[in-house]
Amino acid sequence: MNFFKISGFFFFYFVVVGVYVIFMPKILQMLGYSAPHIGAIFALAPLMRFFVPFFFLKHIELTPKIFYFALAGATLSIALFYPTIHSFYLFIFPNMLLGACLGMILPYVETYAMEHLGKERFGKSRLFGSIGFMLIGIVLARHLETYTNGLHYLLIASSLTAFFAYLLTQNNPHFSKEKEKATTVFSLLHVKYLWISLFLMQVSFGAFYNFFTIYETEHGISLETTSYLWAFGVICEIILFYFQAPLLRRFSLLNLVRFGVTLTSLRWFLLYAFPSSLLVSYATQSLHAFSFALHHTAALSLLYTLYAQKKLAAQFYYGISFGLGGFFGAFIAGFFYGSYLYLYASIIALFSLGSLYLFKERE
Core vs surface per residue 13-45: b (16+ CB within 10 A) or e:
bbbbbbbbebbbbebbeeeebeeebbeebbbbb
Q: Over its length of 363 residues, how does the chain's per-residue pLDDT go in tens digits? A: 789 999 999 999 999 988 888 788 878 888 988 877 887 787 788 888 888 888 877 667 778 888 999 999 999 999 999 999 999 999 999 999 999 998 889 888 888 888 888 877 888 898 999 899 888 888 887 777 888 999 999 999 999 999 999 998 887 776 655 455 555 677 888 899 999 999 999 999 988 887 888 888 889 988 778 878 988 998 999 999 888 889 998 999 999 999 999 999 999 999 999 999 999 999 999 999 999 999 999 999 999 899 888 888 888 998 999 889 988 988 888 888 889 999 999 999 999 999 999 986 455
User: Rounded CA gap, 97 and 74, in Å?
Assistant: 7
Q: What is the pLDDT of residue 184?
A: 64
The answer to whether residues 124 and 2 touch, using CB atoms and an 8 Å cutoff, is: no
The model carries a pTM of 0.81
Among residues 272, 296, 287, the alpha carbon closest in space to that of 234 is found at 287
Full set of structural domains in the chain with CATH:
2-176 (1.20.1250.20), 189-362 (1.20.1250.20)
Q: What is the pLDDT of residue 113?
A: 87
Q: What is the pLDDT of residue 161?
A: 95
User: Rounded CA gap, 216 and 26, in Å?
Assistant: 18
Q: What is the pLDDT of residue 290?
A: 96
